Structure 1
Amino acid sequence: MTGLSASRTCVRNAGGPRVARRQRRQRARLRERHPEEHERPRLSRRKRFMKRAPVALAAMSVAAGSLGAYSPSQDDVRGWSYETNLKTNPNFTRMNARLLTTSERMRNALAQEEGMRLTVYRDVAGYPTVGIGHLVRPEDGLRVGDRITREQAMAFLKADLETAEKSVVAVVGDLKLYQHEFDALVDLAYNVGEGTLSPEESPDLNRAIANADYDGIAAELKYRFAGGEVAGGLVHRSKRRTQIFLEANYADVRPG
């Protein structure tokens, strides 16, 4: 018996059994004199259920609505079978790439990979870069060492994502994709340039797309070379991209 239970028992039994009997008799007399004040209406089982049903149904509706737009995070994927959910949840469906845009999780993963640098620098391949992985173009009017504002960096990101999305739509054609598959291809276009997705540059990728070979597409998402040499950052990013495409797992793959 806990301390709280013991104290309640002591209070209830204070004065002994004679006092307890007297209290019970007093309560009985009060119920006889004023029955309307002491009767509690009893609901049938069906009425009790119907009283609680709106709350339960509202909770179920919220859960179902959130699943429709659900995209698993790093914590969600642990101990969670994506394939099982695909089979049991009709809200997970492949759709035409023209109907998709980059998800918030992919934007976060991309920003984590690229970082935000407001001073123009040269990337691992030697190209002037700024913001969140924006490859500086002549029309930008920027040189290495120039600074931009955070607003400019976000504007570059928006424009670059739109370009990457359009290139993915052009490459996949009528092939339907899950959100995470689309995200992975957008990351590929963003990272290595939309021209790299062309049939001339990536014939195996385009062949897998033409054959609706999703495993084959995943195998062609690995780009590790920059300036003719293997770049560690690209190795990790390629692994993460493949993980996103196959498992909808957006977690960072770097150790630690």
Structure 2
Amino acid sequence: MAASPGAVQYGAAAPDFSTQIAQMKVDATQTRVHASDLTSSETMKEALAEEEGVRLTVYRDVAGYSTVGVGHLVLPEDNLRVGDTITYEQALEFLEQDLKKAEAGVQRLVGDLPIYQHEFDALVDLVYNVGEGNVSERESPKLNAAIASADYEGIAEELHYHHAAGAKANGLVYRSERRQAIFMEAAYDDPRPVEIAVAGNLST
């Protein structure tokens, strides 16, 4: 007798629900997850490009470091000097390389502390901007203490970095405000005031 449609097939392999559950991707915008499960969002990449700009000619940043692309600090292996130019594709390659380093730095920084996507993004911006060394326990003890105690508000308070080469930089003030807004509210918009110039052009 043939089994009717929908009839239970005894002896058939039972579905492995534990595997199915493990394969389900948790929505990190709604649930805090382990940092190792996260990478920078596309929205964060756009915000980062806005902050750093995209420059194809090697220049010196406010701290005097040779820089190119999306805030990429020129390394000896890049074989580039101030005044040299790169392609847009090279700029994107540098960005992806630097993002991977920053993401790994954030993963080491937060350890097992679960975080939202936007919290991860804000911390990636921090590490990308100031370097992993500057968020170490020695250099940023309050930030590390907040992470250790799972004090998310305390973490947000420690995301401000305003100085470059020993001087306060207005651009870093706005960037810090944006970083904190990303961390606390998932608000990626640029906080800089926009004014209408006399000629009718937008200016900041």
TM range (shorter): 0.7 to 0.9
Corresponding residue of 1:172: 110
Partner of 1:176, secondary structure, is coil
Alpha-carbon displacement from aligned partner over 1:76-130 (angstroms, at most 9, x marks no partner): xxxxxxxxxxxxxxxx100000000000110000011111000000111111100
Matched, 1:161 2:102: no
Aligned-residue identity in percent: 64
Matched, 1:222 2:160: yes
Note the C-alpha offset of 1:197.
1.3
Which of 178, 198, 211 pairs up with 2:136? 198
| Structure 1 portions without partners, runs of 5+ | 1-67, 72-91
Distance 1:250 1:146 in 2: 32
Distance 2:27 2:151 in 1: 25
Distance 1:126 1:163 in 2: 22
Corresponding residue of 1:97: 35
Q: Note the 1:107-256 alignment, pairs <5 A.
A: 107-256=45-194
Distance 2:193 2:33 in 1: 34
Structure exhibiting the larger radius of gyration computed from Cα positions: 1
| Structure 2 portions without partners, runs of 5+ | 1-25, 195-204
Distance 2:71 2:147 in 1: 27
Conserved? CA contact 2:65–2:73, under 8 Å: yes
Distance 1:151 1:165 in 2: 21
Conserved? CA contact 2:57–2:85, under 8 Å: yes
Note the C-alpha offset of 1:210.
0.3
Partner of 2:99, secondary structure, is helix
Runs of 4 or more above 6 Å deviation:
none
Corresponding residue of 2:200: none
Q: Note the 1:61-72 alignment, pairs <5 A.
A: none
Q: Which has the higher helix share?
A: 1
Distance 2:28 2:149 in 1: 28
**Pairwise CA RMSD:** 1.2
Note the C-alpha offset of 1:70.
8.8
Conserved? CA contact 2:28–2:116, under 8 Å: no
Alpha-carbon displacement from aligned partner over 1:1-21 (angstroms, at most 9, x marks no partner): xxxxxxxxxxxxxxxxxxxxx
Alpha-carbon displacement from aligned partner over 1:138-195 (angstroms, at most 9, x marks no partner): 1111111010111110000000000000000001000000000000000000011111
Note the C-alpha offset of 1:69.
5.6
Distance 2:135 2:103 in 1: 12
Distance 1:231 1:135 in 2: 18
